[in-house]
Amino acid sequence: MEQKPDRLVLPEIVVIDTCVLISSVLRVLLLRLASTGWFEPVWSPVIGDEWRRTAARLWQTSEADIAQQWSALQRQFPQADMGDVSHYKEGLQRSDPKDWHVIAAARAALNQYPDATVAILTRNIKDFHRAELRGLGIYLFDPDQLMSRLWLQKAEHLSHHLAALPDVVCMPGCDVESLEAVLKRERLFRLNRLTQAVT
């Protein structure tokens, strides 16, 4: 599959890696964008298993509560789970084997949506071999890259979601942080600079 020039790409399908999905801020923001039609989110049972284990450990919450939260995501996005994608690992060589399941989910999405632009969204960029993904027709972004690109092409719409973000992610009993503080904590430094430039 021939890729479009990278500077033009806004993915239509986004495989959200566990390391991104586990962030309460990024999860809320990304899934709000997805729910309003910006892109289709994709994951796999393996990503779901990783998310549940990590969430239970980090948040010290019962497995039953975490399972309910994951079930709610499945109901919200019933097309997101690609099911068993293990056979899509075949032929992978150059990326980190522990992340082959993420690439497999992206390949499954490409098979299901052959005319769509599919990207992997991860914080672990170094674990994915760009040339290998390029050969498969899959794009690769970290959260700051993707969100900055969305801002540059759809700033007016994205600013609405960002303005609401500090209130939405504020924990009960805590003071609401500034948007700048939230973005910096999530390592969205380029996005923060872009938003600050218009304030």
pLDDT digits (tens, 9 = 90+) for 89-143: 999 999 999 999 999 999 999 999 999 999 999 999 999 999 999 999 999 999 9
One domain for residues 124 and 158: no
One domain for residues 157 and 121: no
One domain for residues 135 and 44: yes
One domain for residues 169 and 123: no
Query: What pLDDT, in 10s, does the model give residues 14-48?
Result: 999 999 999 999 999 999 999 999 999 999 999 99
Among 112, 141, 170, identify where a domain stops.
141
The CA-atom distances, in angstroms, between 130 and each of 49, 96, 97, 181 are 26, 12, 14, 31
At position 160, the amino acid (one-letter code) is H
Task: For residue 2, tell me if it sits in a domain.
Answer: no
One domain for residues 69 and 133: yes
One domain for residues 98 and 60: yes
Is the whole-model pTM more than 0.85? yes
One domain for residues 127 and 156: no
Residues 192, 180: contact at Cβ < 8 Å?
yes
Contacts of 153 (CB under 8 A, 6+ apart): 10
Task: For residue 181, tell me if it sits in a domain.
Answer: yes
The DSSP H or E segment spanning 184 is: helix 179-185
Per-residue tokens: 175: 């003071």
Distance CA 79, CA 144 (A): 25
In the chain, how many domains are there? Answer: 2
For residue 58, the domain's CATH number is: 3.40.50.1010
Distance CA 82, CA 72 (A): 16
H helices of 24-170, where? 24-35, 45-59, 63-76, 100-112, 130-136, 143-169
One domain for residues 116 and 170: no
Distance CA 13, CA 100 (A): 18
Range of the domain at 165: 144-199
